[in-house]
Amino acid sequence: MSTAALQSLQQEIAEKEASVLLPTYERFPVLFEHGEGVYLYDGDGKRYLDFLSGIGVNALGHAHPAVVKTIEEQAGKLVHISNLFFHQYQASLAEKLTKISGLDRAFFCNSGTEAWEGALKLARAYGQHIAPKGSQPKTKFLVMENSFHGRTYGSLSTTGQKKYRAPFAPLVPGVTFVKFNNVADLKKKFNDSVVAIGLETVQGEGGVQPAAAEFLAAARELASNSGALLILDEIQCGLGRTGKYFAYQHYGVAPDIVTVAKPLAAGLPLGAILTTNKVASAFHPGMHGTTFGGGPLACATAETFVSILTSGGMLQHVAELGAYFQEKLAELKSKHKVIKEVRGLGLMVAAELKSADVAKAVMKQMLERGIIINRTHEKVLRFLPPYIVEREHIDEVIAALDQVLQANSKTAAPRRKQ
């Protein structure tokens, strides 16, 4: 397709979307046609190095042969039957996930938001389940400032960023926000009415902020001592992203409930709640459910993803490449004063800049150079490359970022007082 034809088609699609879709996204001016490995291609054949992975979803890159084969074969057999009947993949996928998580049971849904919503319901049901007869059950949630758990009402109510909550108030009651990584604030706000403490092991939308070890340990201790639950949101940081199967495994802390989603079915919609037998006993048939969640196509594909994740040294590769990436970003930090901090775990990496304007310009200019990154929390450049990334790809991103930061150095310089 010629450049002119591509631009015309892109404009036509943009105009059509503007007339028929709800105005919820400001899209970047790129129309992708196909992908392969760590690259995406537009209709003009321009290649883009994908260091966002569909916001952490395409962890195996694009058109992975094993994933494509599974989808083709399973789509020809059975796509959907509803959860009123058995199929061969749900139990085996649950078995794989419980084995690597150290938990006992799974529930499959369609997204991370649904997984978190279900986890909140499960916690409230557990509070009712353990309450002595005639006593008031625990119902209060302690969740984190700066967090993001999704956009449905329960998930939104526990998301600690006012810009997401404010347009939809009033929200679900019984939620108190704690300063993330502040043990004193956590202990101050915790009491016997708390049914669960909920947090992202690594805050994603909040700027790639890992939990402090002492904070996570304090949350676990408070919950355990009072009969409350510890719920960890690993929708973005789980399933290999940090160099371990789950980010909490870096800390030696076991949750009562963990939610996962993004990379689970390699691009197909699938989320999961993982929990213990003790907590699962609060649910019985009819209390929760889903029409589409855990269908044969998504679960078969997820089994392929988990099989690849658990074999061939994938986790070690993620850990090594993540450390290399952060090392190279740290070198840029010493060269470019606009970089305030480099942080992350595994291939969940961020460079926080001192200027939101520079961060916005950098993301735009990297895209123009054929490199896809993301800006979150205004000033944070977020990198979520596929697990199959190699050093040469990181070197390419670092070289381009170095040039772009240099070009924007004047914009970043503080104004002198007259």
Is 415's pLDDT higher than 80? no
Fold category of 67-309 in CATH: Aspartate Aminotransferase; domain 2 (3.40.640)
- C-alpha torsion 144→146→148→149, nearest 10: 10
Q: What is the pLDDT of residue 411?
A: 61
Q: What is the pLDDT of residue 418?
A: 42
Is 2's pLDDT higher than 80? no
Give the tens place of pLDDT for each residue, 234-277. Answer: 999 999 999 999 999 999 999 999 999 999 999 999 999 999 99
Is 145's pLDDT higher than 50? yes
* Percent of the chain's residues with pLDDT above 70: 98
200: left (phi over 0), alpha (psi -120 to 50) or beta: beta
Give the tens place of pLDDT for each residue, 178-201. Answer: 999 999 999 999 999 999 999 999
Q: State the average pLDDT for the chain.
A: 96
Rounded CA separation 382/7 (Å): 28
Domain(s) labelled CATH 3.90.1150.10 in the chain stretch across 3-63+313-412
Give the tens place of pLDDT for each residue, 370-400. Answer: 999 999 999 999 999 999 999 999 999 999 9
Fold category of 3-63+313-412 in CATH: Aspartate Aminotransferase, domain 1 (3.90.1150)
Domain(s) labelled CATH 3.40.640.10 in the chain stretch across 67-309
In contact, 248 and 255? CB cutoff 8 Å: yes
Q: What is the pLDDT of residue 416?
A: 46
pTM given for the model: 0.96
Q: What is the pLDDT of residue 417?
A: 45
